[in-house]
Structure 1
Amino acid sequence: MAADIRSLFVTRLYQAHVAGVDYDELENSCYAIYEDDEAGQAWSEENGFPGYTSYASLTDLPWRFPIFADLVRALDESVAEFAADLGFDLDGKPLKLEDIWINILPEGGAHASHIHPHSVISGTTYVAMPDGASALKLEDPRHAMMMAAPPRRKDAPEDRQSFVYVAPKVGDVLLWESWLRHEVPMNMAEGERISVSFNYGWG
């Protein structure tokens, strides 16, 4: 009799193209905000953040630029779809946007491995991805329990790899549960990698 081997406690990743958003306008808006955001530029420099992020300086992007309001409306739909797939019992209280910020990563820049505490679903939509721009690197959350495990074969299926690299295209959105550790390896493109990241919470 053949053994019954099945997956348990699966980590889900959502990827889709975000329709109804003008990504050329969004890119221009990201640069306009960057040029005016002296506090964000200063924070990025003081904290060794490569390039620019509005994470610590601006909290009202959808109010400042209508294109960000368009983006949030589309993200709300994607997050609701992902929450349903995850089987969340939201008790009639939908997940709501908590934070949204711009990342402009120049050639040679990287974002170290991290999680997004105090949020439920996190994600990124991609505004500019020149040839050679970094993929998103996702880490198996069970690493701390794998004290004596041998490495995975390079040809092992994706859902059994220790790290998964996802190379999104402009207009794609990636969503994951906020506890999932992830990073952006060094940007090898000559151009700037631009993304908009966000967190959704509940309750």
Structure 2
Amino acid sequence: MAHIESLFVTRLYRAQLGSTIDADELAASCYSIAEDDEAGQDWCAANGYPGYTSYASLTDLPWRFPIFADLVAALDAHVAAFAQDLEFDLGEGKLVLEDLWINILPEGGMHASHIHPHSVISGTTYVQMPKGASALKLEDPRSARMMAAPTRIKEARRELQQFIYVKPEMGDVLLWESWLRHEVPMNQAEDERVSVSFNYKWE
């Protein structure tokens, strides 16, 4: 009788961010920063970026608003738990926040498929997820090596599907290894989808 096992597993961490973060305050802070960040607004306009992101303009959110310092403390705990699950050998080093940015995605906006080079763990916490807001789309990292392989049947087991759609809820935090390709399909909600994304590095 044949024995079949799964190898080289891709892990995805999902949890509620935690009760120490005031969701309303975090949302209000995201909008306040977006309104005042003229450099970020200019970058979005120049690059055809839908809505708003602070990715290319602000690097000091935890210093600007205390709620973001609280957010980083909560994220540190989640990332430590995920690193333990991944059985990383960090030696004398540790995983530390590299960058943190706001995303405000309006109806019709999307974020194209991408990875986060030079980081170890990436993720997003979801501040505002109106009905119909985009899921997170994750891509099988082996896609480029499948060559002549046929597509999977529609009812394929979840761990065998080429693309996985994860529907976050407000207050969720999702973590994945930074090499995992992901995207945000078109937002079909009338209201804005608000999230805070981040990268952790090993040092």
What whole-Å deviation, never above 9, does each CA across 1:104-140 have from its counterpart, x for those lacking one?
A: 0000000000000010000000000000000000000
Letter in 2 for 1:72: V
What whole-Å deviation, never above 9, does each CA across 1:56-77 have from its counterpart, x for those lacking one?
A: 0000000110111111001000
What whole-Å deviation, never above 9, does each CA across 1:79-105 have from its counterpart, x for those lacking one?
A: 001011111000132100000000000
For residues 51-90 of structure 1, the aligned pairs below 5 Å read 51-90=51-90
The alignment covers a number of residue pairs equal to: 202
Structure 1 distance, partners of 2:92, 2:188, is: 44
Corresponding position: 1:35 with 2:35: yes
> Which residue number corresponds to residue 193 of structure 2?
193
1:3 is displaced (CA, Å) by: 1.1
TM-score (norm 2): 0.98
For residues 97-116 of structure 1, the aligned pairs below 5 Å read 97-116=97-116
Letter in 2 for 1:102: I
Letter in 2 for 1:15: R
Runs of 4+ in 1 over 2 A off after TM superposition: none
SS of the residue aligned with 1:100?
strand
Structure 1 distance, partners of 2:169, 2:66, is: 23
> Which residue number corresponds to residue 135 of structure 1?
135
Give 5+ residue unaligned stretches, structure 1: none
Structure 2 distance, partners of 1:154, 1:83, is: 32
**Identical counterparts, % of pairs:** 74
Structure 2 distance, partners of 1:193, 1:35, is: 16
> Which residue number corresponds to residue 14 of structure 2?
15
Note the aligned Cα RMSD (angstroms): 0.6
TM-score (norm 1): 0.98
Give 5+ residue unaligned stretches, structure 2: none
